[in-house]
Amino acid sequence: MSTVTRFAPSPTGELHIGGVRTALFNYAYAKKKNGKFLIRIEDTDLERSTKEYENNILQSLNSIGLIPDQDPINQSKRSELYLAAAKKLYEDGHAYYCNCSKERLDELRSSLQEQGKKPQYDSKCRELNLSKSNDTVLRLKTPLEGQTIVKDYVRGEIVFENSELDDLIILRSDGTPTYHLCNVVDDFEQGVTTVIRGEDHISNTPRQIHIQKALGYPELEYAHLPLVLGNDKKRLSKRHAATGLEEYQSKGYLNSAILNCLARLGWSKGDKEVFYLDDLIKDFELTEIQRAGAIFDQSKLDYLNSQHLANLSIDEFKIAITPFTKKLDIDIDTHQHLELLINSMRSSAHTLSGIATNLVPYFKDIDSYDQKALEKFVAPAPTILSYIHDALNKIENWNEEVLDNEMNIIKEELNLKVPQINQPVRIALTGSTNSPSLGTTMYLFGREETLIRIKALIESL
């Protein structure tokens, strides 16, 4: 049987990186098995679900390349299916109507808890043969004894005593189906074979297995992933800074780097740290997933991003950085030595937005100089710049070698140390002391612009 996995988010918030990782593992496993990866929107909670969040989730998954093999489905549009399943359960004697009031349930729970027992429904209505009415819920007849064993790829076999589980509600008193029913029915209807989801669902699993069995559905395979945590070791949530996928994308982290980073959270293959989606698909095994929760570390993402950035071809890099340079109102295609510029600057920051910012001086006039640098390198000897300007002005053959050579000559003539003559020029050209090697930098600016900028700095003093 061909493998089918699914990512089943509920649209009650933006897609965060923990969700992306769950989707990623679902995707990778399906692809590895030559199966299908599906998306299901679990929007049965009308109160909290919104179309905006749904769109955000779908768009995010699409933008990062985790494309489903079929159009996503919405649970909110499939009630007939759930109702039909509920009806079958009732007719087959696997479910019963219950009219216990909320008050009774609350009392029951608290009194059981006082006795040190597990708070659960006492199955009062189980044999009463109640019929459906306005205030009845439909409950599943959970097996009273025996065990339910969840076979999990990452944790092995997890055993639950059936006596620990009560008769769960599958249809609310307003007639709408609950999560567990929808989940089980859809997994069956969609042909899902393998459930890969967060470990917060482990204790839900035996309940779902009971529904499956009652409905006569085949068994599923499970893999419960450890959770992605914030710095405080707490489960990632809105309280943590920067959890949304879009935030990372808009800061200029490459999709491939984000995916790489997320995949390494809970999974590894030998000493391989830098890899791509294709590698993951090839190497991935559910049994290799780590069992403990993992803290998301941004400095690791920074590193991985640098590596992925370095691996981009010039054309790929151009395409990747363009949205960021556009935002800063610069058009890198206008540069006369674009390839050299990119290769000189691509490692200047960890993110595309950082690199784009560093690129600005190469396209726009300097509107402010680094004051500290000015004080340190220019203020002590302001006349050096004029000397350099005049010397460079005589150079016709404007290339890196000649320029480096000339700077060396100037250094000898003035009997100065390298930083004393190099740094003022850097400041004149880029506004700061940071730039590629000086010959390259002057070459990148060209003869005319280099001279203009040196002059401009002299005049601004």
Partner RNA sequence: GUCCCGUUCGUCUAGAGGCCUAGGACACCGGGUUUUCAUCCCGGCAACAGGGGUUCGACUCCCCUACGGGAUGCCA
Distance CA 327, CA 343 (A): 21
8 A C-beta contact, residue 55 and residue 9:
no
Token reading at 283? 């190497």
* Helix or strand holding residue 85 (H, E): helix 79-91
CB of 77 to RNA, least distance (A): 14
Q: Choose between 228 and 332: whose C-beta lies nearer to RNA.
A: 228
Nearest CA among 370, 378, 384 for reference residue 435: 370
**Phi first, then psi: what are they for 160, rounded to 5°?**
-120, 135
CB of 315 to RNA, least distance (A): 20
Distance CA 320, CA 308 (A): 11
Q: Choose between 122 and 449: whose C-beta lies nearer to RNA.
A: 122
Token reading at 336? 């006369």
Q: Output the DSSP codes for 88-117.
A: HHHHTTSEEEE---HHHHHHHHHHHHHTT-
Q: Choose between 291 and 327: whose C-beta lies nearer to RNA.
A: 291
Q: Choose between 2 and 373: whose C-beta lies nearer to RNA.
A: 373
Nearest CA among 447, 369, 376 for reference residue 417: 376
Q: Choose between 56 and 75: whose C-beta lies nearer to RNA.
A: 75
Q: Choose between 259 and 265: whose C-beta lies nearer to RNA.
A: 265
Q: Choose between 141 and 235: whose C-beta lies nearer to RNA.
A: 235
CB of 186 to RNA, least distance (A): 10
CB of 157 to RNA, least distance (A): 8
CB of 447 to RNA, least distance (A): 19
Rg, the chain, Cα only:
32
Q: Output the DSSP codes for 401-450.
A: HHHHHHHHHHHHHHT--HHHHHHHHHHHHHSSS--S-HHHHHHHHHHHHH
CB of 305 to RNA, least distance (A): 10
Sign of the CA dihedral running 181, 220, 206, 155 = negative
CB of 223 to RNA, least distance (A): 12
First to last CA, the chain: 77
CB of 378 to RNA, least distance (A): 14
Q: Choose between 300 and 318: whose C-beta lies nearer to RNA.
A: 300
Number of residues in the chain:
461
